[in-house]
A and B are shown apart, each in its own frame.
Chain A
Amino acid sequence: MHDLNGEVRAAERVDIVEDVFRRIPWKIAALGTALLLCLGGAFWAFTAIRGASNRFNEATTQVAREGQFEVHTIPLDRAVPAGFESVTSPAQFTDAALFNGKFYLCGPGGLSAFDFNGKPAGQFNVGIDLPPAPLVRMAVGVGGSGIGPQLWIATHGAGLLVFDGRSFQQIQPKVAAVRSLTSVLPLSSGRILLGSEKNGVLVWDGHALALLHPSLANVHVTALAGTEANLWVGTLDQGVLHWQAGQMERISEPEGLPDARVLSLLADGTQAYAGTALGVAEFQNGKLTRKLGPGVFAQSLLLTGDTLSVGTLEEGVIEVPLKAHQPRLRPIANGAGAGSVQRLLMLDGRLAVLAENGLYQKGRPVLETTGARLTDRNISALSVDRAGKLWVGYFDRGLDVLDADLQHFHHFEDEHVFCVNRIAQEPNSGLTAVATANGLAMFQFGKVLEVLTKAQGLIANNVTDVLLRPDGRYLNVTVATPAGLTMLEASGSSSLYAFHGLVNNHVYALAAMHTKLAVGTLGGLSLLDAGVVKANYTTANSGLKQNWITAIQPVGDEWFIGTYGAGVVKLDAAGRWTPFPDLRGQLEINPNAMVATERAVYAGTLGQGLAVFSRKLQRWNFITAGLPSENVTALTVADGYLYIGTGNGLVRVPEQRVSIE
């Protein structure tokens, strides 16, 4: 028994799986047992509970017609734009499945296939082979098309992916809000249930995507388990919804659930378990009977005989003997250390643990994963120093400095260099300034020289941007913070904020042109000359359509001003504002994600990929193919390459290969 979708008993699996099963060697045979039971279970369930499902179908058919969502079915066979090279991020997994004779792990980076010996047997990267969206959950099931078992993959942002072993198909809801899925549960009827973030439980019948039932709409679903006749829905803040024989019951804290946020579900006939952030609830015949493991952060569940194994966020795996009069928790070694346990499986009759970084059994990794060239996937800042080294700042994992060949890196991470916002270079001195949420770290020759905080004269510790400007023998450093600006100059440090004329205290972006300093804030743009505020621009007195300035890039004698919500506008030296007619609608430019070359201006957007402005054609276009995420968070250009950091990894591409058409 396991906690994947569609739990059934081992003896009840059906022949369709046997051919696959015979070809699997010992190493993952037992795992296959566990996983294939899902599939077998689905067929068993199909015959055993047909009567119940008919009632279920009747209840939902009408709704499906009324609450349908338009979808695009897209074969994922388009050629990847040439030149895009991924800089490997560390493996990160969220789910596992045995399918078509291979073992698959999915995660934010894509889908990894392994052969019977645990060797890599294929890799499908998001942004290249797959849409640029993290893969969150997957399950094997027979869809309504009748073409046999397929791998159904829920994504966060790209809808549903279907893999038949050779090619992928994307089922993409037209409305973006419907594309963020959290769970997938193939049903015996051939329909696929999908848990979504904003639209409750959806059902895909091979032709249409619809709401399962109005009572399950507008629910943030976290997990699905059970069958058509006995469906369990875990939610973010409403506890468990139990659907049985056309009736829905809500079970949350007032009814005895340890916590309203459900993290995992396991259904096994008359028994069910709901893992929450504060323990596990046990259900018998739909009724909550007792709480197990109080305080356990139950991310995944596995039932083996009379033992419930609970995978946690940071305490590894804990076993709960269910027959004991007063079940006590037993922490067990799992090899994943205190890492976050994503999934529990049976492998060769023994417990296997899917942690974020791999699959473990008896303390050893079971599968070979490729080495990473980066520490994390969530990039927040990029810069190349005078030696050609690539500096990669992370959202909350510090900093990597990669050699020019991108093969080796040094990692920096401490209490200050932790949440990185911006990296700036001063080539003459070899100084690198790293703006972080906990101070400004100054590097030289690969070492931290000093960390500047409020104690050293900054107006706030959270440094959102930094600008280095040589001034003769000295280096002037301008520091942006949520509390204003601090200038570090030869005469010492001094600070100014709205009191002194800045349009707003919360400064996000800085850029300099000659003696002028452009300061982008939450409340508009300030232009300073020789350190004195000369002009303030807001939506009330300028061509700005949004006050929140996130990025500024000098281009010739103009400023390109990136905003959070209104794209990019242009400000010229005479103070004239010019909008771009081809940038309409809501468009968020990520903080400090803008860079310019002779050829183009590049801007990283939140959710629309890379915005590219051709300086020759004077127009914008958007690029998402080749990117691991549509959330482009950092950009830099060096040696003819454009480095593109995203919320899900890093790629580089020769700038000439970037389409500006």
Chain B
Amino acid sequence: MKRLLLILAASTLALWGDAGVLLPTDQAQPNPAILSLDEMSIDIRVDNGHARVRIRQVFGSHRGSPLEGTYLFTLPGQSLVSDFAVWDDLTRIPGVIMERKRAEELYTQIRNQMIDPGLLQQGEHDADEAKRTAVFSARIAPIRAFGTKRLEMEYTAQVPVERFESLLSVPLKPDAYRVQTAGRLTIHFEMTSAHALKDFQVLSKAYAVKMSENKPNRVVFDFDGRQVKLGEDLGVKYTLESKGGDHLEILTHRDPTPTAPDPTETAPPAPEREPGFFEASALVAGFKTGTPEVAAPKSVVVLFDNSLSMQWEKLERNYQALESLLKALAPVDRFNLLMFNTTVASFSPNAVPATPDAVEKALAFVKASRLRGGTNLQAALDAALAQAPGPDPYLVLLTDGGATRGIIQNARLAEWYAAKWKQKPEAQRPRTYVFAVGDDANLPLLKLLARNSGVLEWVRSTEPVEFKLNAFLGKIGRHPMENMRLLANGTNSLSYIYPLAEATFPGSVHSWIGQYSQPAPRVTFTSRGFRDGKLVETSAVAPLPEQNLAHPDLPRTWAKARVDALLEKIDREGEDQASIDEIIRLSRKYKFITPYTSFLAAPRALLRPRLIRPGDPLLRVKTDESIVSVVALFPFGPVKKLRYLEDEATWQTRFLAPTDLEDGVHRVRLVMRDKEGHVYQESKTFVIASKPPIVRARLDKNRVRRGDSFALRVSASETTRTVTARMYGAQPVRLKWNPEMASNTGVMLVPAHLAPGKYTVTVTAEDFAHNVGSQEVSIEVEP
């Protein structure tokens, strides 16, 4: 137990991480000759849109000496890790949620056994950003010689509904790594839904599942295979039955038994009877599937944030959103583009028709700009509201929301905007659509801004952008439900009721979650709202039972909603001890991480992406503050003392990597000494990347008719993170790794309105160090 080191860290390794990869130290890829995935079982339970995915993996070591490894799991967007455990022989070592302060104390205590500093690399994110990323990473040591290591992981996620359709994907396909093969893979899937389902499909062809139940309200299937290549994500898709029109369903959960105090709690509160929880889920009809809506002319003002804080992924995602948005507009639509940082720069004095030429010019306008420090969001919003009114106006804000000039307080800025927005005649008030990018997006502010007849969509720096972007763009031109409310008759014990979505569009589900303190035999719930100005009301009758254990995810869902509300209050009114205490209590009780808690089982590493180049790389290390000396032992010989930089609380040295040091993963050892003279050592890896990605692109044809598509097949260097193809007038295509083709593949659709002629397809690959390589290929577009 003493030697067990388990470090749970959120890291910006992001797209390096795949689902359940255990990388031996010093290996850039999973290597079954060293560590094989002997067993894997996946248990998926979806209860009315609440998905809980539990994964158990057993890795076998084929080495005669103990190993260390790094476990990486790329979380699907907006999912929450709810459990992680590693087994040390017969002992299960679970991760625990702790108050941040307590976690730091523990960190100090465990430090005497092992200190785990991180490597920082110039040009990457800073340490704060490491706290908020989508890759779950745990360092696993020791893995005994010829032994096995069992890991367990659980996460929860909400399954979104768009246009009555839902898609759930469990990531198994490699992103950065080679395909893993599971010696044995078992999958159990179980879904229940109060709303009737239809057209349930298992999208993954690689896993021949055995369907044992496929009913409107319940689906069960299993898979059991040996030597299974994990070359495809496990995806399921289904449609909510909308024939019945608007429809309300009520779920309840109550376990009156007081929960046992957490073993790590230093001062456990007295046990209390547990409240009950309910969820009211309204299926909002009014959207016809299969028939594209007739697009009325729109006027769109896009606010594009190009301040310095948008550097890297945020800017790329912002641009991707802009490009997709503008290219989705029809020539009857009008648009203008305002770029903002410290100042606001306008593409055009007034909105212009969204012709392909105007769109390309607007995109070029962005590319020709430069990033500038500072963000005056107030000035940008002001300029957008001042644009000449057009039909069905939209204000689309693409930003991380980090205001540094003008009004910068969230509540004040939101208040100012709402007041300014309301000053306009009702028909000229733009629907405020916000596409937030980045792990550090200022969601509280952006949420408030989107409340002005708009929606908010948030994509993190590292998660795939397509699904959310498509959902966001799909809502432009459609109107959300307004003034959605939940009413209840037959009880007065309901409390703490929160909506689970800010805006709901026809074709999706609007849910509320709340508590009840007293059971009741018959309660009438009514959802009420306005669709296109018309009142829509639907009711359901349900009991509030004394005991019902059918929906165990409701308490955590409620707790998360309660915490979100408390965080919004803190953001609006400032911190207060009662709110903080409640957040910590809920976080620990229902197991999810908040800004006031940490999830750890041992010292947390700030393991950084560490791509460097031969020549004169920098080695930067963060350690516990008690460390007084750090010495680096490089694999090629030199021993370097690191210098402490007080301003950055970072140790740094510079070293010359020899010219013959090959690109790849290398290990540097750090020997640290604390004030007491205790010595600790730690190994860290770094990657030498001296070459930008090399791109080789091929098209399946060199002539294509307008309205047709062509396929791209691109091979790129191993370190490549993204591959994107662009062509004038066409939507950009993000190519995906196709294990069967052993290439990155994608299909580009040539717009039907594109003028015939010769066009250039530019394929750009970017690696983890933001090095880019590109290749241009010509194609002839025929009438």
CB-defined contacts of A296 to chain B, threshold 8 Å? 679
- Tell whether B726 is near chain A: CB-to-CB under 8 Å: no
CB closest chain-A residue, reference B614: A564
Number of interface residues of A (CB under 8 A): 66
- A461 touching B308 by the CB < 8 A rule? no
Cross-chain contact of B641 among A314, A421, A505 (Cβ < 8 A): A314
Question: Which residues of B290-340 are within 8 A (CB) of A?
Answer: 308, 311-312, 315-316, 319
Cross-chain contact of A496 among B371, B690, B692, B772 (Cβ < 8 A): B371
Assess A522 versus B771: contact at CB under 8 Å? Given A297-B631, A500-B368, A588-B659. Answer: yes
B-contact 0/1 string along A140-162, CB 8 Å cutoff: 00000000000000000000000
- A294 touching B679 by the CB < 8 A rule? yes
- Tell whether A392 is near chain B: CB-to-CB under 8 Å: no
- A504 touching B618 by the CB < 8 A rule? no
- A523 touching B370 by the CB < 8 A rule? no
- Tell whether A404 is near chain B: CB-to-CB under 8 Å: no
CB-defined contacts of A531 to chain B, threshold 8 Å? 370
Cross-chain contact of B692 among A456, A460, A522 (Cβ < 8 A): A522
- A498 touching B772 by the CB < 8 A rule? yes
CB closest chain-B residue, reference A547: B692
B-contact 0/1 string along A561-588, CB 8 Å cutoff: 0001000000000000000000000001
CB-defined contacts of B342 to chain A, threshold 8 Å? 492
- B769 touching A493 by the CB < 8 A rule? no
Cross-chain contact of A437 among B122, B319, B677, B769 (Cβ < 8 A): B122
B-contact 0/1 string along A392-405, CB 8 Å cutoff: 00011000000000
CB-defined contacts of A460 to chain B, threshold 8 Å? 122-123
Cross-chain contact of B308 among A220, A237, A314, A457 (Cβ < 8 A): A457
Question: Which residues of B661-688 are within 8 A (CB) of A?
Answer: 669, 671, 673, 677-679, 681
Cross-chain contact of A500 among B370, B643, B645, B769 (Cβ < 8 A): B370
- B370 touching A495 by the CB < 8 A rule? yes
- Tell whether B109 is near chain A: CB-to-CB under 8 Å: no
- Tell whether A93 is near chain B: CB-to-CB under 8 Å: no
Cα distance A261–B671 when bound, in Å?
12
Question: Which residues of A517-554 are within 8 A (CB) of B?
Answer: 522-523, 531-532, 538, 540, 547-548, 550
Shortest Cβ distance from B754 into chain A, in angstroms?
24
Cross-chain contact of B635 among A237, A492, A506, A547 (Cβ < 8 A): A237
CB-defined contacts of B319 to chain A, threshold 8 Å? 499
- Tell whether B158 is near chain A: CB-to-CB under 8 Å: no
27 A-B interface contacts by CB (under 8 A): A197-B637, A237-B635, A278-B681, A295-B678, A295-B679, A296-B679, A395-B616, A418-B643, A454-B308, A460-B122, A461-B122, A462-B618, A482-B123, A483-B311, A483-B770, A487-B370, A493-B373, A494-B371, A496-B370, A499-B367, A504-B771, A505-B772, A506-B771, A522-B690, A522-B691, A523-B772, A607-B659
Shortest Cβ distance from A231 into chain B, in angstroms?
21
Cα distance A431–B342 when bound, in Å?
28
Listed stretches B199-207, B569-577, B646-654; interface member: B646-654
- B653 touching A396 by the CB < 8 A rule? yes
B-contact 0/1 string along A76-95, CB 8 Å cutoff: 00000000000000000000
CB-defined contacts of A278 to chain B, threshold 8 Å? 671, 679, 681
Shortest Cβ distance from B616 into chain A, in angstroms?
7
- A481 touching B647 by the CB < 8 A rule? no
- B671 touching A297 by the CB < 8 A rule? yes
A-contact 0/1 string along B357-397, CB 8 Å cutoff: 00000000001111111000000000000000000000000
CB-defined contacts of A421 to chain B, threshold 8 Å? 616
- Tell whether B773 is near chain A: CB-to-CB under 8 Å: yes
- Tell whether A236 is near chain B: CB-to-CB under 8 Å: yes
Assess A459 versus B311: contact at CB under 8 Å? Given A483-B770, A504-B772, A523-B772. Answer: yes
CB-defined contacts of B691 to chain A, threshold 8 Å? 522, 547-548
A-contact 0/1 string along B622-652, CB 8 Å cutoff: 0000000101010101010101011110001
Apart from A456-B373, A487-B370, A495-B311, what 10 extra A-B contacts exist at CB < 8 Å?
A: A236-B635, A277-B631, A278-B681, A297-B631, A437-B618, A494-B370, A506-B123, A522-B691, A523-B692, A588-B659
Shortest Cβ distance from A642 into chain B, in angstroms?
23
Cross-chain contact of A313 among B616, B618, B631, B645 (Cβ < 8 A): B631
Cα distance A63–B473 when bound, in Å?
73
B-contact 0/1 string along A174-194, CB 8 Å cutoff: 000000000000000000000
Number of interface residues of B (CB under 8 A): 55
Cα distance A493–B311 when bound, in Å?
14
The 8 closest A-B pairs by CB, nearest first: A295-B679, A494-B370, A523-B692, A462-B122, A457-B373, A482-B123, A495-B371, A498-B772
- Tell whether B521 is near chain A: CB-to-CB under 8 Å: no
Shortest Cβ distance from B698 into chain A, in angstroms?
15
- Tell whether B181 is near chain A: CB-to-CB under 8 Å: no
- A482 touching B690 by the CB < 8 A rule? no
- B671 touching A500 by the CB < 8 A rule? no
- Tell whether A639 is near chain B: CB-to-CB under 8 Å: no
Shortest Cβ distance from A316 into chain B, in angstroms?
13
Cα distance A548–B769 when bound, in Å?
15
- Tell whether B65 is near chain A: CB-to-CB under 8 Å: yes
- Tell whether A606 is near chain B: CB-to-CB under 8 Å: yes
Cross-chain contact of B616 among A237, A498, A591 (Cβ < 8 A): A591
Assess A437 versus B654: contact at CB under 8 Å? Given A498-B770, A523-B771. Answer: yes
- A462 touching B123 by the CB < 8 A rule? yes
- A495 touching B769 by the CB < 8 A rule? no
- Tell whether A120 is near chain B: CB-to-CB under 8 Å: no
CB-defined contacts of A295 to chain B, threshold 8 Å? 673, 677-679
Cross-chain contact of B654 among A396, A459, A481 (Cβ < 8 A): A396
CB-defined contacts of B641 to chain A, threshold 8 Å? 313-314
- Tell whether B615 is near chain A: CB-to-CB under 8 Å: yes
Shortest Cβ distance from B543 into chain A, in angstroms?
57
Cross-chain contact of A419 among B613, B618, B677, B678 (Cβ < 8 A): B618
A-contact 0/1 string along B681-718, CB 8 Å cutoff: 10000000011100000000000000000000000000
CB closest chain-A residue, reference B373: A457
Cα distance A419–B372 when bound, in Å?
26
- Tell whether B775 is near chain A: CB-to-CB under 8 Å: yes
- Tell whether A501 is near chain B: CB-to-CB under 8 Å: yes
- Tell whether A15 is near chain B: CB-to-CB under 8 Å: no
Question: Which residues of A611-634 are within 8 A (CB) of B?
Answer: none
Cross-chain contact of A277 among B122, B618, B637, B671 (Cβ < 8 A): B671
- B123 touching A500 by the CB < 8 A rule? no
CB closest chain-A residue, reference B691: A547
Assess A483 versus B308: contact at CB under 8 Å? Given A499-B316, A499-B319. Answer: no
Cα distance A29–B681 when bound, in Å?
41
Shortest Cβ distance from B657 into chain A, in angstroms?
11
- A499 touching B692 by the CB < 8 A rule? no
- A523 touching B372 by the CB < 8 A rule? no
- Tell whether A306 is near chain B: CB-to-CB under 8 Å: no
- A495 touching B372 by the CB < 8 A rule? yes
- A415 touching B647 by the CB < 8 A rule? yes
- Tell whether A438 is near chain B: CB-to-CB under 8 Å: yes
CB closest chain-A residue, reference B368: A532
Assess A459 versus B371: contact at CB under 8 Å? Given A295-B679, A396-B654, A481-B123. Answer: yes
Shortest Cβ distance from A463 into chain B, in angstroms?
10
CB-defined contacts of A259 to chain B, threshold 8 Å? 681
CB-defined contacts of B370 to chain A, threshold 8 Å? 487, 494-496, 500, 531
CB closest chain-B residue, reference A313: B631
Shortest Cβ distance from A214 into chain B, in angstroms?
22
- A483 touching B123 by the CB < 8 A rule? yes
- Tell whether A254 is near chain B: CB-to-CB under 8 Å: yes
Question: Which residues of A200-256 are within 8 A (CB) of B?
Answer: 220, 222, 236-237, 254
Cα distance A50–B123 when bound, in Å?
61
CB-defined contacts of B669 to chain A, threshold 8 Å? 261, 277
- A500 touching B771 by the CB < 8 A rule? no
- B315 touching A494 by the CB < 8 A rule? no
CB closest chain-B residue, reference A338: B629
Question: Which residues of A24-41 are within 8 A (CB) of B?
Answer: none
CB-defined contacts of A222 to chain B, threshold 8 Å? 637
